[in-house]
Structure formats: C-alpha cells, structure tokens
Amino acid sequence: MDTKHKTLSRRSFLKCCGSSLTTGAVCALSLPLWERESLCANIEKEYGVKEAKYYDKLEEKKVQCQLCPHKCRVADLERGTCGVRENRGGTYYTLVHSNPCSAHIDPIEKKPLFHYFPSTNAFSIATAGCNFVCKFCQNWEISQKRPEQVETINLPPERLIGIAKQRDCKTVAHTYTEPVVFFEYMLDCAIVGKANGVPNVMISNGYIMEKPMRELCKYLGAVKIDLKAFTEKFYKEMCAGTLKPVLDILTVLKDEGIWFEIVVLLIPTLNDSKSEIDQMTKWIVKELGRDVPVHFSRYYPTFMLKNIPPTPPETVLTARKIAMNNGVKFAYVGNMVSDAENTYCPRCGKVLIERMRYICSTKGMKGNKCKYCGETIPGVF
C-alpha cells in the first residue's frame, strides 16, 4: 500500500494536533501526510494507553464503564464523560496511564490533609480529565481538557515513587484534577508506593463506585473528599453530578477504616446557608463520627463562576462554629488566615499543631497524643 496516500484517522489527527501545540514540537500539520502518520505512531506509543478496569462489554462493540456513577455507555471510537477513556473496537482503554500533565512538590497541608503526616511534603501529580464539570474549578485548564490537549511527561509508577523518595516526599498525592479518571495509574502507583514505604493519598470529589474504591483502600494511605454541597440541586446544576454517590463513598471510607478528611468550599448564596451546614454536619457526625476533620474553605471567583464575590470570612467561621456545636471535634477553615487553622486538643484546649497557611509546627504533639494531657488525637502522625 502506498503510505504517502494513507488516510489519517480522526483520533490520530487530534493527537498530532494536540501534541504539536502543547509540546512545542514541529507542527505536524506542516508535514506531508505520510510523515504525519509516522509522527502519530510515535505519539501513540508515548501515550499511557492501557486497558481500563471496571467496564462491561456490550453488543455492537459498545462498552459501559463501571468506574464512576455516570456509568457511561460508549460506542466504538468514542470516549466517556471524563474524556480520557476510549472504546477501541469493544475494548475500553485509559489514555493517561503514567502520563501526568502536572507534577509539583506541595506541603501535605495544601491538599488539605491536617491529620496525616503534618509538616511533610507530598509529590503531587495529575493527568488531564475529570468526571465533573464544576463551574468553580480552579484547575479547569487541565481538568476540562483531553490528554492530547495538554503537555505530558512519561512517569511510570516505579519512577514516580523513586523521585518522591529522592525529593524527600513522605507521600504521593493524586490531586489537582480528578484522580478517579486516572484510576489505573493511581492504583498502580499506590501498590508500588505501599511496597516501598511511600503512601499514596487520593484528593477526590468522591464520585466513584464502591468496588473500585474498596480496591483502592487496600493500598492508599489516606483520602480527602470534596463534599461540594449537601443538596442534589447544587450537584446537578454546578457540577454535573449527584450527591448520593458521594455520601455513599464517605460511608465506605469509614467502613474500610482508612484515614479521610472532608473539605467544603462555601460559595455565597449557593451552598453556604446555616441550615445546609447544620444538616450536613449533623449527617457527618451521625454517619461518619466526630473525629473526621471537616474543612470549610473560602471560594474565589474563577472559571465559569465569576459573578459571585468571594466568601466573607465570617461565613466560613460561622460554618465552623455550627460544625463544632453539632459535635465535630476538628473543624477548620481554609483559603484564609485564622487561628481556626490550628489543631486544638479536644480535652484540654491547648494548641497542638499551629498553622499559618502552609507553615506548620507540631510542637504540641508527642507522637499521636497531646503532650499536655495525653489525649489521643485521631489521624496518622
């Protein structure tokens, strides 16, 4: 066959375009068609293409994803809602395994995880894609993109864990976008990390089915869940998701015994009413227990939600007070400077962990106990 006249597939064409625009390489569109096809073949090898877990094969080469509650039914050569999982001839593939588009070293407090190895660093990674479309997403430039639209690096699990150890990072954090959509990569990293003394943490919206979540819990060190609101209306209109599956996953985390914390981003007029915070925190105490840390954070205008002003600090402090009145032992504030960032002993009231943004001092702790009265503080220290 004359390769100079070979037809370029839609998928290969998009990959050529995306890679040439994001990597600064020679623009594939300026090359003859047969050279474009050759370049695409090389790009194909570099992408993290691996058969996905948790899907069912259907008739006519269709598949149904069983990873998250969307349960996307995907026709041949199409992708699911996340944009990073593709049906190829009746077999479902992830396109982002070992190909993060973001990698940074962050303090663990930035996740935020306050009761999990405080004052240590996390090697933080993300791939493109998300199974939500949050109108207030601060990382929309990668979460709402497909793999071929962002610059990526080749970072397989073994290399990732090795780098984390070299850089003195206590943990690896799967964060920034939604790690559920790069489940296979996160799982493999967590397995390698656990075997090499580098726990992996999942920073997630919690929109995942029970079975894959329970598999992850065997290898993860901790989980942080963004509880977007406590109404189905908010989840539907602001995130393109639903609330109940997230609540179900929170109860799964409790059942698994893994350490987890909750973050609630308060957006004026949308999810910040006293009654909603009251109902939410009562549910947390009843279903999850008093020891689960709950973080209330200020919203700042971004992405598609720029018409609402930043959350007043008093709103965040009021939410914290409501939570504590309802029995939450460890309620915090975020995206603002306040003494409410500190960890206080629930028995004697002394400051145990003092925080100023991401600067952290654990001088009030002795192991996992209050050094003043001996009270055991829940978490991993």
Beta carbons within 10 angstroms of residue 195's beta carbon: 10
Main-chain phi, psi angles of 92, to 5 degrees = -95, 135
- Domains of the chain (ranges; CATH) run 1-46 (no CATH), 102-370 (3.20.20.70)
Local confidence band at 45 (pLDDT 50, 70, 90 cut-offs): very low
Question: Residue 13 above 90 pLDDT?
Answer: no
Q: Over 70: is that where the pLDDT of 323 sits?
A: yes
111 alpha-carbon distance from chain centroid: 9
Residues 173 and 263: their CA atoms lie apart, in Å, by 16
Looking at 33-37, 284-288, 371-375, which range is the least confident one? 33-37
pLDDT at position 133: 98
In this prediction, residues 3-9 reach a mean pLDDT of: 40
**What is the Cα Rg of the chain in Å?**
22
Residue 60, sorted as left (phi over 0), alpha (psi -120 to 50) or beta, turns out to be left
Residue 48 has a pLDDT of: 84
Return d(Cα 355, Cα 235) in angstroms, integer. Answer: 31
Burial environment of residue 130 by CB neighbours within 10 A (0 to 12, 13 to 18, 19 or more):
buried
Lowest mean pLDDT among 45-59, 89-103, 109-123, 278-292: 45-59
CA dihedral (188, 189, 191, 196) positive or negative: positive
pLDDT digit string, tens, across residues 265-281:
999 999 999 999 999 99
User: Cα–Cα distance between 352 and 376 in angstroms, integer?
Assistant: 11
Better pLDDT: 107 or 37: 107
Which stretch of 12-21, 82-91, 158-167, 301-310 has the lowest confidence by average pLDDT? Answer: 12-21
Interval 32-55 mean pLDDT: 59
Q: For the chain, what is the mean pLDDT?
A: 91
* Cβ neighbours for 125, distance < 8 A, ≥ 6 positions apart: 100, 102, 103, 155, 160, 172, 173, 174, 175, 176
pLDDT in tens, 214-240: 999 999 999 999 999 999 999 999 999
In this prediction, residue 349 has a pLDDT band, given cuts at 50, 70 and 90, of very high
User: Which of the pair, 39 or 328, is modelled with greater confidence?
Assistant: 328
- Percentage of the chain beyond pLDDT 90 is 87
Give the mean pLDDT of 303-321.
Answer: 98
pLDDT tens digits, 119-145: 999 999 999 999 999 999 999 999 999
> Would you state the pLDDT for residue 32?
39
109 burial (CB, 10 Å; 0-12 / 13-18 / 19+) is: buried
pLDDT reported for residue 47? 58
